Amino acid sequence: METGGNSLPSGADGKKREVSYYYDPLIGNYHYGSDHSMKPLRIAMTHDLLHKYRVLNNMQVFKPTKATSDDLCQFHSDEYIRFLKRITPDNARELAGLCKIYNINTNDCPVFDGLYDYCISYTGGSLSAAARLNEGSSDIAINWSGGLHHAKCSAASGFCYVNDAVLAITELLKHRQRVLYVDIDVHHGDGVEEAFYQTDRVMTVSFHQRKIFPYNTGFINHIGSDQGKYHAVNVRLDEGITDDTYHSLFKPIISKVMEVYRPEALVLQCGADSLARDPLGSFNLTIKGHAECVNFLRSFNLPLLLLGGGGYCIRNVPRCWAYETAVAVGVELQNDLPSNDFYAYFGPHYTLHDPPIKGLENRNSTRSLEKIKTRVLDNISKLEHAPSVQFQERPPDASVDVQLLTQLRTSGLD
């Protein structure tokens, strides 16, 4: 598969990247419910794989401080955040009216023990990672517990309660004129698009499957409005898309965006539900094909924030994000999985990579893909090149601090 964007000349990877990685050792303990598709345990599984593969030795590993309510209210309404702090399984019936208003206590967005702590944990990781990029201390920052891209200003949506991606982008904008957000989750990144739909300081590009949640969003003619016109890009795809056909769109579209928009920082939401065999999506991407998106954005040598997102095949998500962490660092992993604390989950093959699904029809014809590409590239061409931004008084940086996890290993936190 073709690799590389605007790489530096010093080798295939351009240069060695300084990578920061954020992980809360308690994140895997949160539980949406036994029948729920979202399993925070996948984050702990990813971390354990990285530990056993020794990838952690190639990064600075941080335990982020949890975000504050003031941090969350940089995007979310005060009333909604106060409700999140208050709601528990014990008082959910008493607060049923507010639950309905805020779309909580539904099948998608249940109330569970520690809900608010969970929100400020994953959001703290994304804010810390963005702040690290702003400092210039790292080239790439990673928070696999983040990427919860559906949450709205005053409502939960699609397993997402706080939109850490919006908050991380807002943090980056304190030091950057333009930020590019790319979303490869199988579901449309509607919450992020909606937040920045009317501004030219953020460009959102979402590659997603048609006719699944969220419904009635992410159409090709949804291009932004007002100052943000042509700054929203939506690529809607049919079932069964493969690595090669996916990248026949991804690479030329992203290359054109980089050429015209010239962002100063990149955010990539790496939802792993676009992999083959995900129970909620119907794409046929391999882990290597998915990770090629990371590799391609990495090659442009701009500050890069990697976030998690969807992914509901619990054996695939940790393998995908472990491999993509290795891609970010610039190391190769052996295909045979090392012995790890969750080894039984990875059967029956116990390997890092799976082949695509044989016999799954790719319903994306060459003609339809070419039509999508032509229209999207035409819209991008209508952008003014690299809009200048008049900086206002800059708000203070996020009130998050971090501790090196390597300093906490004696407490068993790694």
Of the chain, the end-to-end C-alpha distance in Å amounts to 35
Bond before 348 cis per omega within 30 degrees: yes
> Which residues 6+ apart lie within 8 Å of 334 measured at CB?
352
In eight-state DSSP terms, residue 160 is B
Q: Which residues are catalytic?
A: 150
What is the rounded (10 degree) CA torsion for 98, 102, 105, 111? -100
Scored b (16 or more CB within 10 A) or e, 260-296 reads bbebbbbbbbbbbbbbbebebbbbbbbbebbbbbbbb
Task: Measure the CA–CA gap between 259 and 212, rounded to whole angstroms.
Answer: 31
Answer left, alpha or beta for residue 54, where phi above 0 means left and psi between -120 and 50 means alpha: left
Q: For residue 118, how far is the Cα from the chain centroid?
A: 17
Per the DSSP assignment, residues forming a β-bridge with 305 are 141, 267
